[in-house]
Structure 1
Amino acid sequence: MSLIYQKSMAYLDKFVPHKLQPLWRHPAGPKTIFFWAPVFKWGLVIAGIADLTRPADTISPAQTTALAATGVIWSRYSLVIIPKNYSLFSVNVFVAITQLYQLYRAVSYQQQLKEKANVKNL
């Protein structure tokens, strides 16, 4: 599989414009997993944004916390590794932000339920 990938990249090298060669040959450029992993991880961000319309009672606080923690951890990691991967950093910041907002919605909803229950008990 690696040989097929290497040959296809060598073939594509001929078609990359001269101005884009620095990006193409960058250690975190399109010829590496360091480029494609963040590109596909944007799917998590898109799903998180789509979930903003979900009712708060259907949000899983445990899942949301796990995704937010992952976003924070990988954001930090992407700035520590060499080469620094700003694409990975940006996608993980957005993952963290969307999930932290979802967590806020879930916790707020649960607090409202507790307040309503307390009012009923009075």
Structure 2
Amino acid sequence: MVFQVHFWAPTFKWGISIANAADFAKPPEQISYPQQTAVTVTGVIWSRYSTVITPRNLNLLTVSLAMAGTGFYQLSRKIRHDYFSETEPVASKE
């Protein structure tokens, strides 16, 4: 019996990558570490999986690489803002 990998799931995952790319204009303060970590790790894991299954699913590979890339870029924006920005932290008023 031959099993086929259905193409709708990877196709709908493009929505996550497109939404993540649309958030490039979002201020870094509003980026979520857990969300972007999940997007990045999911992209990496499914990229690997898409290359070892038979038959290889190139749609899943490309969308997963896009997810990993956009997630990694968002994480790098957040890390640069939180740890390497030149702005002084706001002192709390007591």
Give the TM-score normalised by the residue count of structure 2: 0.84
Give the structure with the larger helix fraction: 1
Gaps of 5+ in 1: 1-26, 29-33
Q: CA deviation at 1:82?
A: 1.0
Q: Could you tell me which of 77, 82, 101 is aligned with 2:54? A: 82
- The ranges of structure 1 where at least 4 consecutive aligned residues each deviate by more than 3 angstroms after the TM superposition are 112-115
Alpha-carbon distance between aligned partners in 1 of 2:86 and 2:32, rounded to the nearest angstrom: 17
**Hey, what's the Cα distance between the residues in 2 that align with 1:68 and 1:62?**
10
Residue type at the aligned position of 2:22: A
Alignment length (residue pairs): 87
Give the Cα separation in 1 of the matches to 2:57 and 2:86. Answer: 43
Structure of greater Rg: 1
Does residue 43 of structure 2 align to residue 71 of structure 1?
Answer: yes
Once the two structures are TM-superposed, the CA of residue 52 in structure 1 deviates from its matched residue by: 0.4
Looking at structure 1, the residues matched to 46 and 17 of structure 2 have their Cα atoms a distance apart, in angstroms, of 14
Which residue of 65, 71, 74 maps to 1:99?
71
* TM-score, normalised by the number of residues in structure 1: 0.66
What is the match of residue 18 of structure 2? 46
Q: Deviations over 1:83-122 (max 9, x none)?
A: 11010000000000001000000001101458624xx8xx
Amino acid at match of 1:71: G
Unpaired segments ≥5 residues, structure 2: none
| Distance in 1 between residues matched to 2:87 and 2:28, nearest whole Å | 16
Q: Following the alignment from structure 1 to structure 2, what is the Cα–Cα distance between the partners of residues 45 and 74?
A: 14
Percent pairwise identity: 45
Tell me how far apart the structure 1 counterparts of residues 58 and 34 of structure 2 sit (CA, whole Å).
Answer: 28
- Alpha-carbon shift at residue 67 of structure 1 (Å): 0.9
Q: Which fold has the larger relative contact order, with Cα–Cα distance below 8 Å and residues 6 or more apart in sequence?
A: 2
